Amino acid sequence: MCTDDHHDTPGPEDIARLFSRRGFLRTAAAGAAVAGVAGTAGALAAPASAAPPAASTARHGGRGRVPAGKISIQLYTVRNQIAVDFDGTLDRLAEIGYRRVEHAGFVGRSVREFKAALDARGIWASSGHVGIPQPFDAAAWAAALADAKVLGAKYIVHPYFGADADGPIRDRARWSAFAADLNKAGRMARQAGLRFGYHNHNAEFLPLSDGSGRTGYDILVAETDPRHVHFEVDLYWAWRGAVDPVDLFRRIGRRVLQYHVKDMAVSGSFADPGTGLIDFGRIFRAHAVDEYIVERDDAGSPPRTPADALVTAQVGHDFLRTVRF
């Protein structure tokens, strides 16, 4: 999930440095160069030698497939549509074939009303994006965990950290303090019978200001307890951070339990899953997870319409049902 406030991105010089790293160059569009930052998502200029879109390559692999029961969608994708037609949007998601969703709030309803609407359509809110209180407040977090239990959720995921009004956070002490809060939240979640995760954007992969060459994500991996904190990897934002997810799995694969399946257009902005540059087949072959969650941050935002978000939902579900790897 990503709100407008969460679209803070590094400057052109940072993007240029990050996109030159080995991990990105090995598997992104070959030789892709930064053309500048356009709006919130930036822009990549794809050379003539760029790899074809993943949609044309990822369907021709092995016998691996995404289990139908593990396909989900982040409801942030349909936020504008669901705000004006709650019941109709849920009906359409059920018609497409979604049996899991990841919520981003209860759309102006109580948690019990929200659950009842999902139950009526055979949909399970198996996961939810809920930010931990900062500064950490155990009572407030306990209330969020209680809501997750009402939903019958399996996962609860912190959606964002890494930038503020002053830009990307590069202070190691702040990342360490946040990691300590994640541990507190994760310990409470485990005691409540839930799995607690962290969802990345791209600022986590910027180098810290201490000259160590480490990143905020490095701190989270090193200083969070694997028993209490797992990682929900947003594959688009990992690419935007110039990180090859397959390299990431070699380090922390056992801690990655969820994916956000979000594709990258040649421009560097968002694309419907399976229509852009990311070779999801290669990623899925390298590491299987419990949830493959369709998402597109700009679905329903101008110039796209709320109805376009349901197109994304359909395209994403179709892709995950047919991709072979």
Q: Cα–Cα–Cα angle for 178, 179, 184, nearest 5°?
A: 95
- How do the residues of the chain divide into helix, strand and coil, expressed in percent and rounded to 5? 40, 15, 40
pLDDT of residue 268: 95
- Count how many domains the chain has: 1
pLDDT of residue 62: 85
CATH (domain of 251): 3.20.20.150
pLDDT of residue 26: 35
pLDDT of residue 61: 64
Backbone torsion region of residue 318, taken as left when φ is above 0, otherwise alpha when ψ lies between -120 and 50, otherwise beta? alpha
What is the mean pLDDT of the segment spanning 70-93? Answer: 97
Residue 300 confidence class, pLDDT cut points 50, 70, 90: confident
Q: Cα–Cα–Cα angle for 239, 292, 233, nearest 5°?
A: 35
Decide if pLDDT at 1 tops 70.
Answer: no
Query: Taking the CB of residue 241, how many other CB atoms lie within 10 A of it?
Result: 28
Q: For residue 234, give the H/E element and its range.
A: strand 230-234
Amino acid at 250: R
Residue range 235-286, pLDDT digits in tens: 999 999 999 999 999 999 999 999 999 999 999 999 999 999 999 999 999 9
Higher-confidence position of 32 and 248: 248
Residue 325 confidence class, pLDDT cut points 50, 70, 90: very high
What is the mean pLDDT of the segment spanning 118-145? Answer: 98
What distance in Å separates the CA atoms of residue 173 and residue 214, rounded to the nearest whole number? 13
Decide if pLDDT at 74 tops 60.
Answer: yes
Domain span holding position 169: 4-322
Residue range 92-111, pLDDT digits in tens: 999 999 999 999 999 999 99
What distance in Å separates the CA atoms of residue 113 and residue 219, rounded to the nearest whole number? 39
What distance in Å separates the CA atoms of residue 324 and residue 281, rounded to the nearest whole number? 6
Q: Is 51 exposed, middle or buried, given 0-12, 13-18 or 19+ CB atoms closer than 10 A?
A: middle
Decide if pLDDT at 29 tops 50.
Answer: no
What distance in Å separates the CA atoms of residue 18 and residue 64, rounded to the nearest whole number? 32
Q: Are strands 195-199 and 230-234 parallel, antiparallel or unpaired?
A: parallel
Intra-chain end-to-end CA distance of the chain, in Å: 26
What is the mean pLDDT of the segment spanning 68-79? Answer: 98
Q: Which two tokens stand for residue 212?
A: 């160590």
Mean predicted lDDT score pLDDT of the chain: 86
Q: pLDDT > 90: what percent of the chain?
A: 78
Higher-confidence position of 14 and 42: 14
Residue 14 confidence class, pLDDT cut points 50, 70, 90: very low
Amino acid at 114: F
